[in-house]
A and B are shown apart, each in its own frame.
Chain A
Amino acid sequence: GAGVSQSPRYKVAKRGQDVALRCDPISGHVSLFWYQQALGQGPEFLTYFQNEAQLDKSGLPSDRFFAERPEGSVSTLKIQRTQQEDSAVYLCASSGRQGVIGGYTFGSGTRLTVV
């Protein structure tokens, strides 16, 4: 597609519920990234894929967070047993072969509210 698409746009979850957030990157982009943006803060890195390989997951805050990209295109970020501190906007970005220097294309994000 023309841009990075994320769904749902908004998600309200009850504490303890599992959620799955979807990212459709730009077609052909090999690199895909997930960031977490708390209210009033800058985005913080969660994890990075190159094709289907998860090369860096150092930013995932706990083992309740899990990301996958099984066919090297669409990615899903799953959060198990959601907690209130998980409330944030989750951003997905993709980049082509130029990598970070070429700049990422960010999606509009999924706003997760845990109640």
Chain B
Amino acid sequence: GNSVTQMEGPVTLSEEAFLTINCTYTATGYPSLFWYVQYPGEGLQLLLKATKADDKGSNKGFEATYRKETTSFHLEKGSVQVSDSAVYFCALSATGGQNFVFGPGTRLSVLP
């Protein structure tokens, strides 16, 4: 079946550090890939997405590139801020599907 694996957290960084959160997936066909973010006390919010191989999703300084050859969709940001502290979820939607398969989430804490 379809699945998503993320690096285990928590990840603790200093402000302005470089961030990478690894995400790999298993799926048949050509899934769409997503990163969602959950800030404390809030609902999940779509951060970025990519719908086909080699697409790069970007938003708020975050980027992720859909790599079909390595079945990966790693999240990166060049300089994190304290306000980026949240839980980040990698997710996929199977070809023709309407629901998501989420990874377990990675908690990021950014210290001033």
Residues in A with CB closer than 8 Å to B102 are: 42-44
The answer to the question of B98 belonging to the interface, with a C-beta cut-off of 8 Å to chain A, is yes
Quick one: CB contact mask for B1-45 with A, threshold 8 Å, 1 for yes? 000100000000000000000000000000010101000011111
B52 shortest CB reach to chain A, Å: 11
Q: Is the CB of B98 within 8 A of A31?
A: yes
Complex CA gap A100/B4 in Å reads 17
6 tightest A-B contacts by CB? A42-B102, A103-B46, A106-B43, A106-B44, A45-B99, A100-B93
20 contacts between A and B (CB under 8 A): A3-B43, A4-B43, A31-B98, A40-B105, A41-B104, A42-B4, A42-B104, A42-B105, A43-B89, A43-B102, A44-B102, A45-B100, A45-B101, A91-B43, A93-B44, A99-B98, A101-B32, A106-B36, A108-B41, A108-B42
Residue numbers of B with Cβ under 8 A of A are 4, 32, 34, 36, 41-46, 49, 51, 89, 91, 93, 97-105
Contact residues of A with B, CB < 8 Å? 3-4, 31, 33, 40-45, 48, 55-56, 59, 91, 93, 99-101, 103-109
Known A55-B98, A108-B43; 13 more pairs at CB < 8 Å: A33-B99, A40-B104, A42-B102, A43-B89, A43-B100, A45-B99, A45-B100, A99-B98, A100-B97, A103-B46, A104-B44, A105-B43, A106-B36
